[in-house]
Amino acid sequence: MKYLIIFVSLLGLVSCAGIREEVKYEVNGQEHKGYYAAPNGGGLKPGVIVVHEWWGHNEYVRKRARQLSKMGYHALALDMYGEGKKTSHPKEAKKFAMMSMKDPELAKKRFLKALEVLKSKEGVDPKKIAAIGYCFGGAVVLNMARAGVDLDAVVSFHGSLKTKKPAKKGDIKGKVLVLNGAEDPMITQADIKAFKSEMRKAQVSYEFINYPGAVHAFTNPGATAVGNKYDLPVAYHEESDKSSWKTMENFLRVELR
């Protein structure tokens, strides 16, 4: 009887946590490795695609997927490089990111396939889908929105704003939220001005928030150590991390209701 009680208790813990699983899918014959986190409870619930930083599909992006699932969303952390490639060295990360950005059609295929996988999961409401991304991933979700991917909401955390193909009226389907570090040297005032102009001309409903004192990668607790090690202008900013996440929570609650 004692062992039965223990088993039932453990089963309850697993149930409360929801499904956590690695997912594999193919794009152009290449295997991609994602991570899926489901919310607790039944019924149809919104889905959120999570796009990793330039480091690749690592534990950080999986943690964000789990956080989203606890908020009641089906979350899929995708793989934008293929074969689950990841690195801890900025030189290799830059190489991975540039290869992805140089082939926007392949990038879109990878994103759309992950979106297809997410929508295929039991309990996902295919009519309520958002995408969030960090750094490289922030640029990816903005570019997917510009490319006309049907997303109800898009959130970019300290992502690049530049584009060679500005959005036109009707391209971006949902609302856009950009959460930026005010002291980020990688995002210039000219970039911000151009982005805001692009959104206005395309008649996109958007919100742009600057966080004082925050630099690039301000949401990642490991950023400060990386910045010190490689002399990069990246650092964690706890206040901005918590504030931006709360802003995203409220944003998704409204846009995916």
Strands 153-157 and 175-181 turn out to be parallel
Q: What are the pLDDT digits (tens) for 81-115?
A: 999 999 999 999 999 999 999 999 999 999 999 99
What residue has token string 């609302």? 175
Instruction: Spell out the domain ranges in the chain.
Output: 16-255
Question: First-to-last CA distance in the chain?
Answer: 44
- What is the pLDDT confidence band of residue 169, given thresholds at 50, 70 and 90? very high
Would you state the structure tokens that stand for residue 180, as one six-digit string? Answer: 């930026």
Strand, coil or helix: what is 91?
helix
Better-scored residue on pLDDT, 18 or 210: 210
pTM of structure: 0.93
What are the pLDDT digits (tens) for 49-64?
999 999 999 999 999 9
> What residues pair up with 216 in beta bridges, in sequence order?
234
- Are 144 and 151 in contact by the 8 Å Cβ rule? The answer is yes
Phi, psi of 46 (to 5 degrees): -65, 160
Distance (Å) of CA 136 to CA 53, 60, 70, 100, 227: 5, 14, 24, 10, 16
Q: Hey, is 102 helix, strand or coil?
A: coil
Lookup: tokens for 94:
């830059």
User: Given 3.90.550.10, 3.30.70.1250, 3.40.50.300, 3.40.50.1820, which CATH number is that of 16-255?
Assistant: 3.40.50.1820
